Amino acid sequence: MVLRSVRWTEVKPDMSITNLPRLVLLALGLLLTGSAGAGSLILNSGTSQVTLLELYTSQGCSSCPPAERWLNEYVDSEDLWTRTIPVAFHVDYWDYIGWKDIFAIPEHGKRQRDYARAGRARTVYTPGLFVNGREWRGWTFRLKPPASGKQPGNLSVTITDDRLAATYPLAAAPLELHLALLGFGIDTSIERGENRNSTLRQEFVVLAHEVHNTTDGHWDIHLPEARSDQAGRYGVAVWVSTPGKPEPLQATGGWLN
């Protein structure tokens, strides 16, 4: 589907449109360790650029399930977290055609439009794939995303209890740290719209997305909280960019216990 016209954000599912589990406040610190002080999660990207693979999708788009099934395969890929960080941003610009995507918020569509305004995509559409901030359609041929070959330096992340500390060596300029909480193993029964009477299995769903600024390449922040207990498993994606430019410089990520 194509839309021709062309910070901390939290997905709040609409309970009036689907039979979902009761929402609870889910603290990331509990996901990480199961109990406070049980240890730290340490993530390092390495010096080579890790591929941030962004899917822009909608539960109301009949063209999106094939792209989502392709992205879902990364759950069992040997490239996951070490070479490729997949994330699925659900957009809301198709909600009017019959089904309101329960994971979609306006900020996700804005990020995709920012890519279009920056010349990184010809238009805004779903399913839309971006590899390190550039439009990419190779998934339709079941290709692997191309590696950049760049050496932007190591992004180091340590998560302990409810805090995240990160360091990136590009300390001479302002930077943004993006932190996304990802949900896995999510099944949604679609009652109306183009995908009506189907059940969608979705992975790498962005449940929460924060952006934090720095001028020295260091961050010490609280972890986000998500208002959903739907996911069977959770992960975290972290990447850095420069202000005003959505494309990532470096990325890392991992599973949460």
Supply 165's token pair. Answer: 């500390």
Give the Cα separation of 201 and 221 in Å (integer).
Answer: 32
What pTM value is reported for the model?
Answer: 0.85
| Full pLDDT tens readout for the chain, 257 residues | 544 333 445 555 443 333 333 333 333 433 433 333 458 999 999 999 999 999 999 999 999 999 999 999 999 999 999 999 999 999 999 999 999 999 999 999 999 999 999 988 889 999 999 999 999 999 999 999 999 999 999 999 999 988 999 999 875 689 999 999 999 999 999 999 999 999 999 999 999 999 999 989 999 999 887 655 778 899 999 999 999 899 999 999 999 87
Q: Residue 145 is encoded by which pair of tokens? A: 């995303």
Residue 107 has which token pair?
A: 């900020």
Alpha-carbon Rg of the chain, whole angstroms? 17
Burial 63-100 (b: 16+ CB within 10 A, else e): ebbebbebbbebeeeebbbebbbbbbbbbbbbbeeebb
User: Tokens for 127?
Assistant: 């399913």
The amino acid present at 152, given as its one-letter code, is P
Per-residue confidence (pLDDT) for residue 225, from 0 to 100:
76
